[in-house]
Amino acid sequence: MFNIPSFYEMDIEWNDAVRIIQGRANGDLLEGMKSMEKMWSDYCKGPAEDSGYEDDDDFYYTWSYEMNAFNVVFEGMSKLFAPAEAA
pLDDT at 50: 66
- The Cα 34–Cα 70 span in angstroms is 10
- 9-60 residue pLDDT tens: 999 999 999 999 999 999 999 999 999 999 999 888 876 566 678 888 988 9
pTM of the predicted structure, to 2 decimals: 0.85
Query: DSSP of 5-69, one letter per residue?
Result: -GGG-----HHHHHHHHHTTTTT-HHHHHHHHHHHHHHHHHS-HHHHT-SSHHHHHHHHHHHHHH
- Cα gap 87→73, rounded to integer Å: 28
Other CB atoms within 10 A of residue 12 CB = 19
Asked if 21 contacts 36 with a C-beta cutoff of 8 angstroms, the reply is yes
Domain boundaries, the chain: 10-41
